[in-house]
Amino acid sequence: MARNIIQKIWDEHVVVSKEGFPDVFAIDLHLIHEVTSPQAFEMLREKGLKFHAVGRAVATVDHNVSTAVNRKVATDAGSQKQIMMLRNNCTEFGVKLLDMDSGKQGIVHVIGPELGLTQPGITVVCGDSHTSTHGAFGALAFGIGTTEVGHVMATGCLLQEKPKTMRVNFVGNMGKGVTAKDLILKLIAQIGVAGARGHVIEYCGEVMSRLSMEERMTICNMSIECGARAGLISPDEVTFEYLQGRECVPKGKKWVEAIQYWSSLVSDKDAEYDSVVEMNIAEMAPMVTWGFNPEQGIEITGEIPRDADIQALDYVRLKAGQRIEEVPVDYVFIGSCTNARLSDLREAADIFRGRKVANGVIVYVVPGSEEVRAAAIREGLDKVFVDAGTDFRNPGCSMCLAMNEDKVPEGKRCASTSNRNFVGRQGKGAITHLMSPIMAAAAAVTGKITDVRKLIK
Amino acid sequence: MQEIIKSKIVPLPRADIDTDLIIPADFLTTTSKKGLGEHVFARLRIMEANFPFNLEKYHGARILVTKKNFGCGSSREHAAWALRDWGIEIVIAPSFADIFFNNAMKNGILPIVLEEKIVNEIFAAGDCEIEVNVAAQKVILPSGEVANFQIDPYRKECLLKGMDDLDYLVSRMAEIERFDKRHSKNMFFDTTVL
């Protein structure tokens, strides 16, 4: 029977399928961070269980670390305790920890791909909903809660029900100023925050083959924002080229074997899906969210809908029918697992080069990893950011979820490259507008939400 | 979980409640599962004086009734821990986000999917009491009518008997180890170089 790539990866990982029980499903790569792991390690101790496969797990600190240039661990006692616990737990159970100043620390979804850990055909979990990022490599990757983090630690497996599958076809080519972030924001606006609930998405369309791995990661990253269990893209030459030579990727004979297996991970021609969505991207403009959930997004040239949700309008202090362009911003955040890779920083730097941050606007540029930061410095991007008047910081999740001291103050408005504009997400009472890195950079230099196409030659 | 839960409800007629709303990131530095109840819906409790979780009359309620796509967004299990710690054992909604649904089940909270029409009827009844028969998979509505709901038989047994997925997983360890050997040929990443 013809199968799609999701079904192929699923079938490969079913360990036990027994009537009356969910499937025992194998997890290949387990990424661990400080916030959603302490209670899971504690569960291993309470039950006297061993860590099943430390060779398939890697830990880092990202959610609550300080991103200050001369940083010390974390600023508050609770975060410091969590980081210390992760260090102790990794030592006790023998899990590799990529700690601060190792040169490899960073947002868990940035470092996995960067190190070559994320590979086609594998299953990846992390106690973080943006684990779907790794789907860019043709991996089945999804976020889990802490109890399940414990299950994977103890057995390398989870109990899972088979997901439904959805094919998303992007039709057409991206115009000037339109990025991968705009494609996914447009999809979420079209199908809604629960549009793909219960499904794993395969992103398709001719445009996919032309996207870089970084762009593919941005798309897969936000799969959860339309409710999907995961989102992935079939691996191809672009994937293999990205992986070749990375630290955790095999060489020689093993590499040849890998390519052979990975090349089989494409959907069969007649494969079926539980649902199919078409989205035309040819004529679209860059996207911006106006409200308090990610489906409340419009094109930069558009107006807030006349029938917009009153609670949302009230929270973001905007009016129905109002144009989104020229709404003034107080803060700009360029970072997060959605948009903090080197290509994102390069594109933002192209906007900042020769320009200054508008008066009164505070701009954080937070690289996704120590490696991204180092690479940006090697290219001189740090100088571009600093000359423009931004704050070029150390890596971490930072202002995306505002667990550390990087917060947007109450009532202030932020142009953000992150993934969620939920109530209070970037700080109590903070207002968030999601957009691409170049759109955020354009907002930074003009002081208001701006159509970046006006700044591109 | 008890077979029959009879309780007043907390009505929360709002769609797409995300887990950031249920428990904001400020409270995620805990290293325990306990004590988050006092912070449940912290942002909304500050923003809205009449938010149900602020009102004395709803204290002690064990059933939360809300709208579609409850628990979307972040995978933080702290959302389930916070609701359970506050006293919620049943959440009734027309739909739930996948990760929250799983997290709830693993923490003694039963998410019950009922048609939107029925959920709206519950809201229309105002402050009321509902009886949920978990064993029989029935909800006795304020009108006295009965609504049936679905629950996976394995999950139901786990909830009623306090069983844990981990016990089942550990019981399959021999098969897991055989699988690991067979499957390793298709795994090419190497963490030992790190």
Domains of chain A listed by start with CATH number: 1-284 (3.30.499.10), 287-454 (3.30.499.10)
> Mean of the pLDDT values across residues B102-128?
97
Q: Is A196 within 8 Å of A224 (Cβ atoms)?
A: no
Tally Cβ neighbours within 10 Å of residue A456: 12
Number of cross-chain residue pairs from A and B with Cβ atoms under 8 Å apart: 201
Q: For residue B140, what pLDDT band results from cuts at 50, 70 and 90?
A: very high
Considering only the beta carbons, identify the residue of A64, A148, A423 that sits closest to B21. Answer: A423
Q: Is domain B4-162 given the CATH code 3.20.19.10 in the classification?
A: yes
Choose the closest CB to A38 out of B31, B169, B173. Answer: B31
Alpha helix positions (H), A133-179 = 146-155
pLDDT confidence of residue A457: 81
ipTM of the complex: 0.98
Distance CA B101, CA A347 (A): 39
Name which of A104, A197, A311 is nearest B97 (Cβ-Cβ): A197
**pLDDT tens readout for residues B142-179:** 999 999 999 999 999 999 998 889 999 999 999 999 99
Decide: helix, strand or coil at residue A262.
Answer: helix
Question: Taking CB atoms and an 8 Å limit, are B168 and A159 in contact across chains?
Answer: yes
Strands A29-32 and A123-126, by their bridges, are parallel
Is the pLDDT at A374 greater than 90? The verdict is yes
Please give the pLDDT value at position A74: 79
State whether residue A427 sits within 8 Å of chain B by CB. Answer: no
**CA-based max dimension of chain A:** 65
Query: Whole-number mean pLDDT of chain B?
Result: 97
pLDDT at residue number B90: 98
| Burial class, B125, CB count within 10 angstroms (exposed 0-12 / middle 13-18 / buried 19+) | middle
Q: What is the pLDDT of residue A151?
A: 98
CB B121 within 8 A of CB B143: yes
> Which residues of chain A make contact with B172, given a CB cutoff of 8 A?
15-16, 24, 155, 157
Six-digit token pair at A382? Answer: 């740090």
Q: Which pLDDT score is estimated for B52? A: 97
Any chain B CB within 8 A of the CB of A69? no
Angle at A380 between CA A378 and CA A386, to 5 degrees: 130
Measure the CA–CA gap between A63 and A33, rounded to whole angstroms: 7
Residue A248 reports pLDDT greater than 90: yes
Residues 384-413 of chain A with CB under 8 A from chain B are: 401-403
Q: What is the domain partition of chain B in residue ranges?
A: 4-162
Instruction: Provide the percentage of residues in chain A whose pLDDT is more than 70.
Output: 100
Burial of A287 (0-12, 13-18, 19+ CB in 10 A): buried
- pLDDT at site B164: 87
A61 touches A105 (CB < 8 A): yes
**Closest chain B C-alpha to A403 CA, distance in angstroms:** 6
Mutation for B interface: A45, A129, A188, A246, most B CBs within 10 A: A129
How many C-beta atoms surround the C-beta of residue A88 within 10 A? Answer: 12
Helix and strand totals (H; E) in chain A: 15, 19
Among chain A residues, CA nearest to B19: A422
The average pLDDT across A380-394 equals 98
Does the pLDDT value for residue A227 go beyond 90? yes
A232's enclosing H/E stretch is strand A230-232
Task: With beta carbons less than 8 A apart as the criterion, state whether A242 and A120 touch.
Answer: no
Nearest to A82 among B31, B33, B77 (CB): B31
Say if the Cβ atoms of A424 and B20 lie within 8 Å. yes
The residue behind tokens 């000037």 is A176
pLDDT in tens, A413-422: 999 999 999 9
Residue keyed to tokens 């395969």 = A202
Portion 281-310 of A in contact with B at CB < 8 A? 293
Integer Cα distance of A423 and B79 in angstroms = 15
**A53/B192 Cα distance (integer angstroms):** 12
**pLDDT band for position A72 (50/70/90)?**
confident
- pLDDT recorded at residue A73: 82
The mean per-residue pLDDT over the stretch A228-242 comes to 98
Average pLDDT, chain A: 97
Q: Of A76, A194, A257, which has the smallest distance from its Cβ to B95's Cβ?
A: A194
The residue of chain B with its CA nearest to that of A13 is B183
Query: What's at A29, amino acid-wise?
Result: L
User: What integer pLDDT is reported at residue B15 of this predicted model?
Assistant: 97
Question: What pLDDT, in 10s, does the model give residues A82-91?
Answer: 999 999 999 9
Interface contact A254-B99, CB threshold 8 A: no
Q: For residue A75, is pLDDT > 90?
A: no
Q: Is the pLDDT of residue B182 over 90?
A: yes
Give the span between the Cα atoms of A144 and A146, in whole angstroms: 7
Could B169 and A122 be called an inter-chain contact, meaning their C-beta atoms sit closer than 8 Å?
no
Show the CA angle centred on residue A190, arms to residues A186 and A194, nearest 5°: 110
A17 and A286 in contact (C-beta within 8 Å)?
A: no
Contact (Cβ atoms closer than 8 angstroms) between residue A4 and residue A202: yes
CB contact under 8 A, A250 and B102: no
CB contact under 8 A, A229 and B98: yes
A224 in B contact zone (CB under 8 Å): yes
Instruction: Give the integer Cα–Cα distance in Å for A250 and B7.
Output: 59
Q: Does A334 touch chain B (CB under 8 A)?
A: no
User: pLDDT per residue over A251-282, tens digit each?
Assistant: 999 999 999 999 999 999 999 999 999 999 99
Which pair of structure tokens corresponds to residue A107?
Answer: 């947002």
Cβ separation of B25 and A403 shorter than 8 Å?
Answer: yes
